[in-house]
Amino acid sequence: MKKASLLTYVLSIVVLLIFILPVIYIIFSAFKPSSELFSANPTFIPKDWTLENFTIALSKGNFSLYIFNTFLVAISSTIIAVIINTMAGYALSKFRFKGENVIMLLILSTIMLPLEVIMVPIFSVLRFFGLYNSLLALIIPPAATPTGIFLMRQYLLTIPDEVIQAARIDGASEWRIFWNIILPNAKPAIATLAIFSFMWRWNDYVWPLIAINSPKKYTLQLAIANFSGEFGIDYNSVIAMSALAMIPMLIVFLIFQRQFVQGTVDSGMKG
Amino acid sequence: MTKVKKKVRGVEFKQKIVPYMFLAPNLLIFSIFIIVPALIGLYYSFTDVTLFTFDGFDFIGLENYVKLIDNEYFVKAFVNTIKLVIVVVPIMYVASLTMAVLIVQPLKAKGLFRAVYYWPVMISAIVIGIMWNWILAGNFSIFNAIARSLGIQTLKTLTDPTFAWWSVVFALVWSRAGYYMIIFMAALLSIPVPLYEAADMDGASKLQKFMYITYPAIRPARLMVFILTTMEIFKVYPLVVTLTGGGPHRATYFTVQYVYEVAFKEYQVGSASAMSMVMLLIVTIFTAANFFLSKRGENV
């Protein structure tokens, strides 16, 4: 194989620095004492490392509760997302039925209706169902995603029909087939969907903004946004929380990099 | 024989109801939380409903839509959004394609480059906004410290309307280019190698190979990136919340933020719904235009 030219290396490294330095800078800043945060001559690396920003944020802003809420929402919504999107993907890949095309069209049309366009009526629907100001509103509705359905459908098409037929001949019920054959066989696609779903819910801002009112129900993103709101940014805690909010995602990414790349290629859209 | 025919795609089932049951949870959620709200939104847009009068309101026809024309804030936010789409989409396209071309080169530590380029995609828009605000805002930001050390005078950064606007552009591209890079990367990797070998034998230059082989071959990916970025930039909001807050002087005020504020801070749900519908219409037109323009290009 040919080797890359020096120019390619230089360009690649410049781009690398553009992406990596800002992230490192904000993480470093989270460890700076106030005197350095608001210094007239800021340095890239903290001179005195301190955890005081984290303790301020956790004590003052109840950020441990927000972290708990965010984990609760992200994990439960992801479990539901995996189950219902695999179910839908299974139906669309292995069954033929009346109205199939209409249903496909319906699912596709939901892509064209982003949440941002329907946030006002969603608010009234949430109120109607008593879901307003409830974490359930952040768990259940976003779990259904067209991206998830298409991702699962594409993958399940590769499972041979014979496997399903054989189970049916053995007298297995449809549910049993789904739980014992489809779910275990779809593991790679499920991993991809689960990771994406977790990221979407972890990073989400618009759903919590519409559905949540009481600070006790805040998620991390909502809390960070509100803390940086109207009265000017409270940099100490906001920077510490921003660093904390992105670290879990970066770890998840480093572990599951392959799934992310594959998922982006397969779905090509976000939920 | 007939049995075999039926098996052409998928398995034929005796229980006709089964696929509907598997689809039910998703369809239920889509209907309740997407389709129904979209219809309600359309209906609201013709009424004078407010956040406190969901039970009693009047049908006022097109009044909400007519009023939008004179609503200076709406026009400003709307024009701003269209400008943002027109500016960001091509920049995002070039940036992500360039990055994709870089990471398919035979570099050492390719995986590291790919991981770091993609990395910002994992960070929430809210945190991205905080990050760039922290880097740019104020006289004592690291940005201004660097500017001073280079002998440039201290810049107004986020309190300057033009600077703030371009900061939003930059932060958007910075945070999302890695995502589109992956779509381009997959397309680049699927181009058959013999095409390039043949071109090499004909003595084609690097530029010629890119123009006549690579670029045409990735057409589907290009269309996809165009459509996805267009839709994404139209809904820009969380990033702006923490980066600029929409300011200064509404320089970075975009449609979604205005719709949100009209509905939830001014309580004018009817009016906000009309804005949403206009936005939906424009997004659809832009997406369709992208689609048809590139289709037409295909026949030329």
CATH number at residue A186: 1.10.3720.10
Pick among A38, A45, A79, A95 to test the B interface (most B CBs inside 10 A): A95
- B290-298 long-range contacts (CB < 8 A, ≥24 apart) are B290/B223, B290/B226, B290/B227, B290/B230, B291/B223, B291/B227, B294/B219, B294/B222, B294/B223, B294/B226, B298/B219
How many Cα atoms sit within 13 Å of A54 on the Cβ side?
13
State whether A139 and A184 are in the same domain.
yes
Asked if the structure places residue A58 within a domain, the reply is: no
Given an 8 Å threshold on Cβ–Cβ distance, is B127 in contact with A107? no
Per-residue HEC secondary structure of A163-203 comes to HHHHHHHCCCCHHHHHHHHHHHHCHHHHHHHHHHHHHHHHH
Asked if the structure places residue A56 within a domain, the reply is: no
pLDDT in tens, chain A (271 residues): 567 788 889 999 999 999 999 999 999 999 998 888 888 788 888 888 999 888 888 887 788 899 999 999 999 999 999 999 999 999 999 888 888 889 988 888 888 788 888 998 999 999 999 999 999 999 999 999 998 998 899 889 888 888 888 888 888 888 899 999 999 989 888 988 998 899 999 999 999 999 999 989 999 999 999 888 655 667 888 899 999 898 888 888 888 887 777 777 766 544 4
Asked if the structure places residue A44 within a domain, the reply is: yes
State whether A88 and A185 are in the same domain.
yes
Q: Residue A85: which domain range? A: 63-267
Work out how many domains chain A is built from and give that number: 2
State whether A31 and A77 are in the same domain.
no
State whether A43 and A177 are in the same domain.
no
Q: At residue A190, what are phi and psi to the nearest 5 degrees?
A: -65, -40
ipTM: 0.90
Asked if the structure places residue A177 within a domain, the reply is: yes
Instruction: Specify whether the CB–CB gap between A16 and B117 falls below 8 A.
Output: yes
* CATH match of B72-299 with 1.10.3720.10: yes
Asked if the structure places residue A132 within a domain, the reply is: yes
Asked if the structure places residue A209 within a domain, the reply is: yes
Taking the C-alpha atoms of residue B169 and residue B167, their distance in angstroms, rounded to an integer, is 5
Both tokens of B120, joined, read 């910002």
State whether A198 and A85 are in the same domain.
yes
State whether A82 and A163 are in the same domain.
yes
DSSP string, A6-64: HHHHHHHHHHHHHHHHHHHHHHHHHTS-HHHHT-SS--SS-SS---HHHHHHHHHS-HH
State whether A44 and A97 are in the same domain.
no
Asked if the structure places residue A55 within a domain, the reply is: no
| A71 reaches B (C-beta below 8 A) | no
Given an 8 Å threshold on Cβ–Cβ distance, is A88 in contact with B33? no
Q: Write the pLDDT tens digit of every residue in B17-69.
A: 888 999 999 999 999 999 999 999 999 999 988 888 877 788 888 889 999 89
pTM: 0.89
Q: Which of B12, B120, B182 sits opposite A96 (nearest CB)?
A: B12
Chain B stretch 37-56, residues whose beta carbon is closer than 8 A to a beta carbon of chain A: 37-38, 40-41, 44, 54
CB pairs under 8 A between A and B: 274
Please state the domain extents for chain B.
72-299
Look-up of token digits 């994406």: A196
| B107 reaches A (C-beta below 8 A) | yes
The minimum CA-CA distance between B242 and chain A, rounded to whole Å, is 6
